[in-house]
Amino acid sequence: MILYEIEQRFKGEKLTDIRETVRSELRKNKQLQQLPKHSEIAITAGSRGIENIVLILNEIVSYLKEKEYKPFIVPAMGSHGGATSEGQIEVLHQLGITEESIGTTIRSSMETIQLGTTQDNLPVYMDKNAYLADGIIVVNRVKVHTAFHGKVESGLSKMVAIGLGKQKGASFIHGRGANSMEHNIIAVSKYALERVPILMGLGIIENGYDQTAQIKGVDVEEWYDQEATLLLKSKELMPSLPLKELDVLVIEEMGKNYSGTGMDPNVIGRMRIDGTEEPLEPNFKRILVLDLSEQSHGNAQGIGLADFTTEKLISKIDRNSTYMNALTSTFLRRVMFPLHYPTEESALDAVFLSLGPDVNKEQVDFIQVKNTLHLSKLFISESALKKIDKQKVDYEILRKVELEFKDGELKHRLLKS
């Protein structure tokens, strides 16, 4: 099979002065400016894959110290890190967030305070260290969620409700199903915003190249409207594949550093959540994932979104962290293992065989990507290339190669070793 390496061009809006933008947004917030000197301020951290997160957190800390406040970092990641305080510190360290790199202490605990219950009888939990602080700054990337869609999805409200709610809070919200998540996240975060000293949010938007595009302060008084505006902007910049219909999608690597679900369901068109309808598009007949990223540290949440994989990937799975993630989210189908084979070659052979006895491999619509986050460069079969709408997709052809293997592994890949 002949493959063409192409490069897509996405909207590339990029923030040039991150440090000054962070300071400018902090200066605008009246609640922060009115806080007495020497007040303790908790800063949330924990979402994976945010470009420049260390720089952003470091600048927040520097600014607060200059104003004679006492900042500290609090992990806000629900049940991640095996739902232990040590595990959550380790997750931060994997992201480069250490006391040395940020310039302040990290206070990690799974202990929570129950603030009360919403009108829907949903308990509201808050990380104890954050609750006891004089103020809280919620920092997170705003983007499309991997399990539901709504006015707010993955971002500041989710970090308040689920991230700061720790394992207990995350379990209660997820336990009522994906169809209720938007309602529950808004209800729980609103309850918390009215009862804990949250000063502001700092929303981060990234472009199609995974670069920081915007950093925007969010006021508590206009929290949901401002976050909704950021979400719409994030959707405008979100990368996608050039076709909505494919026979085969090969993903070289999955992992929590690319998506909370390992492979972004919005990119591959699969939800695999009981009671939730599958999207009509994208529609990819077969998905093969080859490997698990080192940065995922064994967490293979989302492996169940693939049809085929390799024994290499299966051998890297840390079942404790993977299963804990699935149990907390309640989305069990997302971690059910697909068919797995000894080599990438034998796995791909099985993929082609599964398409039926009359399939001509040369006519298969095939795309190979690094992961579901970085989609600018990809390999595409000749039949699929001809179906790209040049009026909607801006791309250029870089080279032509043959689909080949060496010692059972793909010879041509986009990820560099």
35-39, 82-86, 241-245: the lowest-pLDDT one = 82-86
19-23, 65-69, 143-147: the lowest-pLDDT one = 143-147
CATH 3.40.50.11440 fits 18-237, yes or no: yes
Helix (H) or strand (E) holding 229: helix 223-237
What's the mean pLDDT when you consider all of the chain? 95
Q: Using 50, 70 and 90 to split pLDDT, how confident is the model at 417?
A: low
pLDDT of residue 179: 83
* Model confidence pLDDT, tens digit, residues 161-195: 999 999 888 889 988 888 899 999 999 999 999 99
Helix (H) or strand (E) holding 129: helix 128-132
Q: 185: burial class by Cβ within 10 Å (0-12, 13-18, 19+)?
A: buried
Per domain, the residue ranges of the chain are 18-237, 240-410
For residue 12, is pLDDT > 80?
A: no
Closest by CA position to 131, among listed 169, 91, 98: 169
Phi and psi based region of residue 286 (left: phi greater than 0; alpha: psi -120 to 50; beta: remaining): beta
Whether residue 405 contacts residue 1, with contact meaning beta carbons closer than 8 Å, is answered with no
Query: Quick check: helix, strand or coil at residue 47?
Result: coil
Confidence (pTM): 0.86
* Model confidence pLDDT, tens digit, residues 92-122: 999 999 999 999 999 999 999 999 999 999 9
- Computed over its alpha carbons, how large is the radius of gyration of the chain? 22
Dihedral angle of Cα 401, 404, 407, 408, to the nearest 10 degrees? 130
Q: Which residue has the tokens 């929290």?
A: 223
* Model confidence pLDDT, tens digit, residues 308-352: 999 999 999 999 989 988 988 889 999 999 999 999 999 999 999
- For residue 218, the cross-strand partners are 201
